[in-house]
Amino acid sequence: MKLFHLIDFYNELIIKQDYFECHEIMEATWKSAPTFSKNDAEVFLILLATGEYHYRRGNINGAVRSYRRALKLHEENTYDLAALGMGEELVEMMTARMEDMEDMPFHPLAYPLTEDMWQALHEHGGYGPSPDIEAFKRWTRDRVVQDEEIVYKHRLRDRTDVLLEREAAIKKRKHRK
């Protein structure tokens, strides 16, 4: 996976907190590989973002299901989290988060990015109150995006293309029978 894919993903995950877009970015990255499987690290990241999306919207069952699947994938495949720009403590953080979801209101996770990934993310977006990397990290940890267009993106987006494709697939299956 290329660095710019990860930076785009983390920009959406941490800065914009657009978990739906995270899913889209990582799915496109995953499917653009010459070969891909459901055991790839991209799927782990997709499930992490999906869990966050559900949790923020109050769908605890969906969030727990996504986190469990992500953690199971990691257990089975032992991803090199550092190569993904994350610290190894991510797994423990996800486990604790999953266990506390019922009792804790949503707040964005303080993702344990590697120092190199923090630097790349900071340079990429020019976000934050100052050029100081520590101030940037604090700024990201204090952000809570609540924009309805982002929080409920899957409901509010134009789904015309998706519905047309689904209808065409149904017609194609009926025609084969």
Q: Nearest Cα to 10, choosing from 116, 159, 94? A: 116
**Mean pLDDT, 10 residues at a time, over the chain (177 residues)?**
92 92 93 92 97 94 97 96 96 95 93 94 70 85 77 57 68 76
* Claim: this prediction has a pTM higher than 0.85: no
Phi-psi region of 78 (alpha: psi -120 to 50; beta: other; left: phi over 0): left
For residue 30, give the CATH number of its domain: 1.10.3450
> What is the number of domains present in the chain?
1
Residue with tokens 């496109």: 28
Residue type present at position 111: Y
* Count of CA atoms in the C-beta half-sphere (13 A) of 67: 24
For residue range 75-99, list pLDDT tens digits in order.
999 999 999 999 999 999 999 999 9
Helices and strands, counts by H and E, the chain:
10, 0
Residue with tokens 């930076």: 7
Q: At 173, phi and psi to the nearest 5?
A: -65, -40
Residue type present at position 61: N
For residue range 46-70, list pLDDT tens digits in order.
999 999 999 999 999 999 999 999 9
What domain range is 160 assigned to? 3-176
